[in-house]
């Protein structure tokens, strides 16, 4: 892939491959786009590696207070699970050119993928800024100074005389850290560069200037980075139409923001053993996430589910270990309470066999991830698929939760998360509430990315690991939780992602039975 976009691709020699522009520091503002060539496969690998890093940053930032020791520890643990993240927190990477180039290139690829809408841009900016802050604070004082010099952020410390003059004000602003005022340098900067410090009343202000301690310089750096990144994303958006000329890149870039990076929960890998049709009712009450409970209850009440519901629920059941024979028995028993067996066999059994790869293209379809359920195919009237935390009215959701005897405090906590758009966090809080998890350490380790992951975690918590199964590394004290970005090779992930998307013929065939 030519990042410069102006070279004669066919004539470029193999020697030039990967000759990217030199990066002089571990940290970057990513001002100069990379020029060089990488293969499409590397392009995708870099994108997924960085996406895993940003997801790790998101996971740590949503559940814990940014900057707190718990947050730093959690972020380090999460980053260590990803290949790029592992390199990011390595302390021996001085002058590691490969790492720096991968950092640069992967940032620019995701910039292309995440510039397409306001929502995506906001998410990308937030994670990149948090990642930058974390990395900047890990650098030593000399490295930070070098970075500031390289980026022309040359602020002069105020003189000793001025510092003595402002001693009382600086100590008052430093609060509990007033003891270090004598030993630390202060910088005079326009207050517009440190809005966050001003809003937290952490700086002394005089005549439009803020007096910022060296420890708080990160605020200035972040302000510059935010403004640069915001501008760059807007510029990239305008350049996006040119990419449409390359039919290979755009679909991949568009799919990145919806991509699930964790385990695929294929039925073959389910390690809770076979689940029979008779067990589903009990399990739905104990271990199903709310989305699947809703589908199950609706099926029980109406003896029918429309296509979207059958797909979401059918693949979930397959993923928890329901065999094709048991699935057929389950659906037939329920549907045939409202129709005769002939009609069921003619109109619905094809769809069930299709999900198990026995019809059409014979593809072994994988269960839907939370991201897919939340972002695609919203439910219409008469539909029961989707994610209740995303698609249900907040008042209705609260009423449903109260009906399940969830405490008032927990209902409020969940509703608050839903209102701020953190649907998976709301689901994690629902998991905590319904599994009586109170230990903050265990709470912090719950991340819901997949309905089948929810089921597996719940099943293991309630029943203990199945005999003969090996414990999974990094298992928290009480439960094992999957976190996005754990150990799925990119090529495999891509394949799984593709498998989730039916081709038109298959889709039309199954839609024909939708009533
Ligand atoms: Fe289901 Fe995921 Fe929504 Fe939870 S967050 S209800 S598991 S789609």
Domain-located, residue 505: no
Q: Please, which residues have CB within 8 angstroms of residue 56's CB and are 6 or more apart in sequence?
A: 75, 78, 79, 81, 82, 85, 483, 484, 485
Rounded distance, CA 312 to CA 310, Å?
A: 6
CB–CB of 13/37 below 8 Å?
no
16 located within any domain: no
Q: Are residues 303 and 391 in the same domain?
A: yes
234 and 375 share one domain: no
pLDDT at 282 over 50: yes
* Cβ(290) – ligand 1 distance below 6 Å: yes
How high is the pLDDT of residue 18? 53
* Ligand 1 site, residue 289, Cβ cutoff 6 A: yes
Angle between helices 40-63 and 69-80 (to 10 degrees): 160
- Give me ligand 1 centre to Cα 369, in Å: 8
Coil, helix or strand at residue 57 = helix
- Does 214 reside within a domain? yes
- Residues 411 and 388 placed together within one structural domain of the fold: yes
Tokens of 324: 């094709």
Confidence of residue 466 (pLDDT cuts 50, 70, 90): low
| Contact (Cβ atoms closer than 8 angstroms) between residue 28 and residue 146 | no
Task: Summarize the confidence of residues 162-172 as an average pLDDT.
Answer: 86
Q: Do 282 and 411 belong together in one domain? A: yes
Based on the domain organization, do 66 and 168 belong to the same domain? no
229 pLDDT above the threshold of 90: yes
Question: Which residues are known binding-site members for [4Fe-4S] cluster?
Answer: 291, 370, 387, 427
Locate the ligand 1 atom nearest the alpha carbon of residue 290 and give its number: 6
Q: What's the pLDDT band for 92 if we cut at 50, 70, 90?
A: low
Lowest mean pLDDT among 64-68, 184-188, 401-405, 493-497: 493-497
| pLDDT classification of 265: cutoffs 50, 70, 90 | confident
CA distance to 171, 182, 205, 206, per residue, from 189 (Å): 18, 19, 10, 10
| Any atom of ligand 1 within 6 Å of the Cβ of 428 | no
Residue whose CA is closest, atom 1 of ligand 1? Answer: 291
Q: Which atom of ligand 1 is nearest to the CA of 449?
A: 2
Asked if 350 contacts 513 with a C-beta cutoff of 8 angstroms, the reply is yes
On whether both 398 and 454 belong to a single domain, the answer is: yes
Question: Given a cut of 90, is residue 227 above it in pLDDT?
Answer: yes
- Cβ of 291 below 6 Å from ligand 1: yes
Report the pLDDT value the prediction gives residue 341, as an integer from 0 to 100. Answer: 93
Closest C-alpha to ligand 1, atom 7:
451
Tell me, yes or no, whether 170 and 253 share the same domain: no
d(CA 331, CA 352) in angstroms, rounded, equals 9
Give the pair of three-digit tokens for residue 334: 């329920």
Q: Which residues, other chains included, contact 363 with Cβ-Cβ below 8 Å and sequence gap of 6+?
A: 357, 499, 502, 506
Q: Are residues 292 and 417 in the same domain?
A: yes
The pLDDT score that the predictor gives to residue 438 is 78
Do 206 and 236 lie in one domain? The reply is no
Asked if the structure places residue 23 within a domain, the reply is no
In terms of domains, do 336 and 428 share one? yes
Whether residue 112 is contained in a domain is answered as yes
Residue 177's pLDDT band, with cuts at 50, 70 and 90, is confident
Mean pLDDT of the chain: 81
Residue ending a domain, among 219, 236, 253, is 219
Q: Are residues 157 and 248 in the same domain?
A: no
Provide the domain limits for residue 191.
150-219
Pair 120, 173 in one domain: no
* Statement: residue 17 has pLDDT above 70: no
Domain count along the chain:
3
């Amino acid at each position: 892939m030519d990042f410069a976009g102006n070279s004669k691709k066919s004539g470029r020699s193999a020697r030039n491959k990967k000759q990217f522009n030199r990066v002089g520091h571990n940290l970057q503002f990513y001002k100069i786009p990379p020029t060089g060539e990488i293969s499409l496969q590397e392009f995708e690998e870099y994108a997924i590696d960085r996406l895993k890093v940003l997801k790790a940053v998101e996971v740590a930032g949503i559940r814990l207070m940014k900057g707190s020791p718990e947050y730093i520890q959690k972020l380090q643990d999460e980053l260590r699970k990803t290949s790029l993240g592992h390199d990011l927190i390595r302390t021996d990477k001085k002058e590691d050119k490969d790492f720096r180039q991968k950092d640069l290139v992967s940032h620019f690829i995701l910039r292309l993928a995440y510039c397409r809408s306001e929502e995506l841009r906001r998410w990308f900016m937030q994670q990149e800024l948090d990642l930058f802050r974390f990395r900047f604070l890990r650098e030593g004082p000399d490295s930070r100074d070098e970075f500031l010099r390289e980026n022309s952020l040359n602020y002069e410390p105020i003189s000793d005389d001025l510092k003595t003059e402002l001693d009382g004000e600086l100590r008052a602003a430093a609060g509990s850290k007033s003891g270090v005022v004598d030993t630390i340098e202060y910088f005079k900067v326009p207050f517009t560069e440190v809005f966050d410090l001003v809003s937290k009343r952490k700086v002394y202000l005089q005549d439009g200037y803020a007096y910022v301690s060296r420890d708080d310089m990160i605020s200035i750096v972040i302000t510059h980075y935010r403004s640069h990144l915001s501008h760059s994303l807007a510029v990239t958006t305008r350049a996006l139409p040119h990419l449409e000329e390359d039919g290979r890149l755009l679909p991949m870039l568009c799919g990145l923001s919806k991509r699930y990076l964790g385990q695929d929960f294929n039925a073959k890998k389910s390690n809770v053993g076979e689940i029979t049709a008779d067990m589903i009712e009990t399990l739905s009450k104990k271990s199903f996430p709310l989305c699947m409970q809703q589908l199950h209850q609706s099926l029980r009440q109406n003896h029918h589910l429309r296509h979207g519901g059958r797909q979401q629920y059918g693949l979930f059941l397959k993923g928890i270990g329901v065999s094709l024979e048991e699935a057929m028995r389950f659906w037939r028993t329920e549907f045939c309470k409202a129709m005769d067996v002939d009609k069921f066999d003619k109109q619905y059994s094809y769809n069930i066999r299709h999900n198990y790869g026995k019809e059409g293209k014979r593809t072994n379809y994988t269960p839907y991830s939370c991201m897919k359920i939340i972002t695609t195919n919203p439910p219409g009237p008469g539909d029961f698929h989707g994610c209740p935390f995303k698609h249900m009215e907040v008042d209705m959701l609260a009423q449903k939760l109260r009906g399940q005897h969830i405490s008032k405090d927990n209902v409020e906590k969940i509703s608050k998360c839903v209102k701020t758009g953190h649907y998976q966090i709301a689901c994690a809080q629902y998991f905590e509430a319904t599994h009586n998890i109170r230990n903050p350490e265990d709470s912090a380790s719950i991340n819901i990315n997949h309905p089948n992951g929810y089921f597996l975690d719940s099943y293991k918590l309630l029943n203990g690991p199945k005999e003969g199964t090996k414990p999974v590394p990094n298992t928290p004290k009480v439960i094992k939780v999957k976190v996005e970005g754990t150990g799925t090779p990119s090529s495999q992930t891509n394949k799984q992602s593709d498998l989730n998307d039916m081709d038109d013929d298959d889709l039309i065939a199954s839609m024909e039975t939708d009533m």
